A = this chain, B = another copy of it.
Amino acid sequence: MSETTDQRTDETRATARPSRRALIGWGGAGLALGAVAAGGAVAMATGGESQDSGNEAGAVEFHGVHQAGIATPVQDRLHFAAFDVKTDDRAEFVQLLKDWTAAARRMTAGKTVGDGAYGGLAEAPPDDTGEALGLPPARLTLTIGFGPSLFEKFGLRERRPAALVDLPKFPGDNLDAARTGGDLCVQACADDPQVAVHAIRNLARIGFGKVAVRWSQLGFGKTSSTTPGSQTPRNLFGFKDGTRNIAGTETDRLDRHVWVGARDGGAKDAWMTGGSYLVARRIRMNIETWDRTSLQEQEDVFGRDKKEGAPVGKAKEHDEPFLKAMKPTAHVRLAHPDSNGGITILRRGYSFTDGTDGLGRLDAGLFFLAYQRDPRTGFIPLQRKLSAHDALNEYIQHVGSAVFAIPPGVRDANDWWGRTLLSEEA
């Protein structure tokens, strides 16, 4: 069964189950429903479910050792936002992270942000913007990250992890400052784009005056899979790329290549244990040029056949590639772990199309998202090689870039995003 079919089945299963409306207890004209939903107690998604698979209502568990949205099977749609911090009051910033965590906990469970103001207090500003009412949780995950510039604030300079380096300038980079960097990021993934957009919008709303959106990116279709054995979705070049991605069930590979270990970076960086590092790159594809290229050239550039996604000379996407059969500049050959001393990163990229570029061309491409244990031994050496030699460079340009430390997961209902970094206790 293809992954596409898997996902659609998930989505259907979700819609057949209690909707957001039902979860928050609305019904009929519902003027007194505050009483039903209020009280502060937050019923969590059933604890017996794996973080990765989503429960019967289509909710992915928010709590865990690691944040959801990394090893979680890749959802269909993305809304990603980078924020700049505007407050210089550390206590206010910590309170924002606590408020965000509470909102994320509710939204990923398919609930509204607020817990009852709608029902009883019609004059109060809504606690939730409302456009996701009636929609299922849609496997929403929310994943927070801290950019290098955050560590210039709040006396955090000494806490900046050694692995959170500034990315070097790579050959061919043409970065737009307006799509680069950010003190914070939130990755919202869901099978319904309205649910992902709703989540980012409500976090921005809660953060009003304390943080501001620096840039954001909508991803309309996933290009990666973290589901074992499934087919890789096609990117806007029409190819399956990233076939050998880490599956969410491969705990050994996740521990080796994605999750920060307890001893990584020494005692100073212990707060990152169970976390990861995210590199985000907005990669514009020159699709008009690509579309006038012959099939042979396209297949040579990737080192795969276009139809099946099989490596050169092989029959199926997941067949073991024979790298020497490919041109030395083939993308698959250059990016393969065997050509890079074993470098492996977890990719969760999405295709984007953001209107036109003013020159009659679609502004389309890949919003590349890669998680890794350490960018210094992950994305950076890989991209040094690719940016220097990859035949694909003729058809792409990196136009936005950011790197974030992804803290460990929120353990339970009392925990909050960033506690291991910012808590004054112990």
Chain A residues proximal to chain B, CB less than 8 Å: 2, 4-5, 8-9, 11-12, 15-16, 26, 28-30, 77, 79, 84, 118, 122-126, 128-135, 178-179, 192-194, 197, 200-201, 204-205, 208, 212-218, 220-221, 231, 233-239, 287-288, 290-296, 298-299, 305-308, 310, 315, 351, 353-356, 358, 360-362, 364
CB distance from A38 to the nearest CB of B (A): 15
Once the chains bind, are B215 and A355 in contact (CB under 8 Å)? yes
Once the chains bind, are B295 and A234 in contact (CB under 8 Å)? no
CB distance from A7 to the nearest CB of B (A): 9
Minimal Cβ-Cβ distance residue in B for A355: B216
Q: Could you list some 10 contacts between A and B, CB below 8 A?
A: A12-B12, A77-B220, A79-B353, A125-B294, A125-B295, A133-B234, A201-B291, A205-B288, A205-B291, A213-B362
CB distance from A358 to the nearest CB of B (A): 7
Assembled-state Cα–Cα distance A139/B292 (Å): 28
User: What are the 3 tightest A-B residue pairs by CB atom distance, in nearest-first order?
Assistant: A130-B238, A212-B360, A193-B220
Q: Which residues of B contact A201 (CB under 8 A)?
A: 236, 287, 291, 362, 364
Once the chains bind, are B213 and A360 in contact (CB under 8 Å)? yes
Minimal Cβ-Cβ distance residue in B for A179: B355
Assembled-state Cα–Cα distance A11/B193 (Å): 15
Assembled-state Cα–Cα distance A298/B197 (Å): 20
Assembled-state Cα–Cα distance A5/B236 (Å): 29
Assembled-state Cα–Cα distance A291/B4 (Å): 35
Once the chains bind, are A131 and B235 in contact (CB under 8 Å)? yes
Once the chains bind, are B217 and A355 in contact (CB under 8 Å)? yes
